Structure 1
């Protein structure tokens, strides 16, 4: 791996500040952008992009099949009462998917490319991938490893989705965390590029959901404005499992076509890590898919080691890694320990040669087809909020 790394020239402070992205380069995050660039072979970059398109189609097939199977739906961790809206969404919003991110192990230096999970709903790393990574490569004089059309593809998708209604007016909502707000703002900027008429970024508590009058937010002048589109940066699983009243309001408004939500609710099927169990069953022999089960005893050989993860979870919370299938070699606390778990066979990561043994995780953005690659690295067995963002460049073959 060391031969794949070259020094990175960071973006200028003025460039970052002008785009409102100081969060990623200052304070506690001053070293978030790695001081090195990882170089990929063209074949490695192409394979990661191709894998995204292949897996997106396969996982959608599995998701649709699982929705029609009550036993599967329960194992996905989705409440039975959520099924009617999911069925409606699949029937009416199947082509409305906006964006997600596949995370992979391997794919570098001959290490097999393996899917770890699909962040199908409210995935992060949008500004880093679409704005900061190209600037780092430009300033460092390094060619990009793969096409980076994330901004353009999101704009095109929002143009297509918005074309069904005149005077596109959209709310872009988040839960108030700084990083979430920046990712939401990035999406809102793409809607402006798509010439939406009225685009507002709001924290969720500042939005009123009224089944009789629609979705309403207050303007800076104190007037109430009704919006049709909601692009949300809060997870559907959070709504389903913790905010059932919000789910009920959204369900009525969506079905009555008072509001259109992106990503659509059927993306909840893709977000469940239990879908990886069924994808492995539905597509036997796919080398991109790791053996995954609801019990480690059902893995082909638990002694190879496994990763235990909750069906819904983020940032490595409640993840456990066992290198031999018996003891816990790494484990993180978190807020998702009450959920069902899946067990995924341990995959090999490309690592540094030094004592830190940093592990490199490639990711492919979907918008909704493969649009860009990005990478994070971290020492230890579990990737969490302390990971560095590593820009990807091209290694001449």
Structure 2
């Protein structure tokens, strides 16, 4: 695993925007960064990332099957009791899912260590799929990279297959929050893939979804039969329309059983049921969140996102603390597996699961040990 500097493509910004990737720069700061790339061997990809991702995903599915049948475990995850039955039914009835992402600390040597699961509303999808593939393809055409360079990236192909297998013949709505260009870009990309699979799609802002007393509807009072909502279940469960979800006839993506995996309380349960697995870190529920973080550990709230409210103390006493709004839920303690440092940047690998298959990776860089929403996205390639 190497970080290698490379020239940027001429006019890559306008090319990205022409494909709909308009959030390549956020608040004047570079988000997509092609001034360097990460190079892996095929063995590193297959043995250290792809195979563990597939194995950990099956462990996650096993965890859901255990949790939905246990009110004690559902309670430990801080899921409101009013949703226990709906979550259980969504799993038992086999409600289909689209995707998820695991975040790893990995330096090219030894086992990758799972830091987090992003299984309900993961973003960085477009840049992990279409954008970095376009970068590789054009760089090869321009002679900037060798012709036999490859990439671990079958995300779009596998998403197309998943949408085809759904066999949906009614309109499929894709919802994002008003004002978020990144979320709109993610839903537009998923819409494009769904349409390629022959599905009629519409975009709707979450704030525009209504309820007519019986069904969820759009602004024209049309029924919403299928809904991809880029909005976390833990938020929905505390909102006005949350209690109506279980009795509605809308099919939700991601399904409600993803609430089991979309909070960090799943990580101590994964460790409890698979203790000693080489890709897992010792992780426990934190019964004393007011005490200082022990040396060599990380404290994370169940529902934090983009690195918010994480407190980390390395074995050599380096302390990193990120502020944020997620202070109203329990916490976990996870053994610290510091991100590797390449040059001046700390590197995180996001490994995608599409349906039930490992499908590709995306790489984020930050000048801190905690990856945040401002962290840069860099492409990768495979070259032996």
CA contact (8 A) 1:93 1:264 kept: no
Corresponding residue of 1:370: 358
Corresponding residue of 1:135: 134
CA apart distance, 1:393:
1.0
Matched, 1:315 2:315: no
CA distance in 2, matches of 1:345, 1:144: 36
After superposition, the C-alpha distances for 1:327-355 in whole angstroms (9 at most, x for unaligned) are: 77111111111210001000142212x4x
CA distance in 1, matches of 2:149, 2:299: 34
Corresponding residue of 2:204: 202
Matched, 1:333 2:328: no
CA distance in 1, matches of 2:120, 2:164: 20
Matched, 1:359 2:362: no
TM-score (norm 2): 0.90
CA distance in 2, matches of 1:342, 1:322: 14
After superposition, the C-alpha distances for 1:120-143 in whole angstroms (9 at most, x for unaligned) are: 011001110111101222233346
Greater helix fraction, Structure 1 or Structure 2? 1
Q: Which runs of 5+ in 1 are unaligned?
A: none
Matched, 1:41 2:45: no
CA distance in 2, matches of 1:116, 1:144: 29
CA distance in 2, matches of 1:109, 1:153: 26
CA apart distance, 1:91:
1.0
Q: Map of 1:243-262 to 2, 5 A cutoff?
A: 243=239, 245-253=240-248, 258-262=249-253
CA apart distance, 1:324:
4.0
Matched, 1:347 2:337: yes
CA distance in 2, matches of 1:7, 1:182: 27
Corresponding residue of 1:232: 229
Structure 1 runs (4+) deviating above 3 angstroms are 29-32, 142-147
Q: Map of 1:106-185 to 2, 5 A cutoff?
A: 106=106, 108-141=107-140, 142=145, 145-161=150-166, 163=167, 165=168, 167-176=169-178, 177-185=180-188
Corresponding residue of 1:394: 382
TM-score (norm 1): 0.87
Return closer, same or farther for 1:314/1:86 CA change in 2, 3 Å cut-off.
same
CA distance in 1, matches of 2:376, 2:304: 20
Return closer, same or farther for 1:308/1:27 CA change in 2, 3 Å cut-off.
closer
Return closer, same or farther for 1:29/1:131 CA change in 2, 3 Å cut-off.
farther
Report how many residues are paired: 371
CA apart distance, 1:211:
4.6
SS of 1:333's equivalent? coil
Q: Which runs of 5+ in 2 are unaligned?
A: none
SS of 1:129's equivalent? helix
CA apart distance, 1:7:
0.9
CA distance in 1, matches of 2:31, 2:275: 41
CA distance in 1, matches of 2:371, 2:117: 15
CA RMSD of superposed structures (Å): 2.2
CA apart distance, 1:304:
5.5
Return closer, same or farther for 1:379/1:154 CA change in 2, 3 Å cut-off.
same
CA apart distance, 1:13:
3.4
CA distance in 2, matches of 1:132, 1:146: 12
CA contact (8 A) 1:102 1:119 kept: yes
Return closer, same or farther for 1:331/1:348 CA change in 2, 3 Å cut-off.
closer
CA apart distance, 1:145:
5.0
CA contact (8 A) 1:23 1:29 kept: no
Return closer, same or farther for 1:64/1:328 CA change in 2, 3 Å cut-off.
farther
Return closer, same or farther for 1:195/1:144 CA change in 2, 3 Å cut-off.
farther
SS of 2:379's equivalent? strand
Corresponding residue of 1:12: 12
CA contact (8 A) 1:8 1:137 kept: no
Matched, 1:385 2:376: no
CA distance in 1, matches of 2:218, 2:311: 42
After superposition, the C-alpha distances for 1:258-292 in whole angstroms (9 at most, x for unaligned) are: 21011100001011211111111111221001000
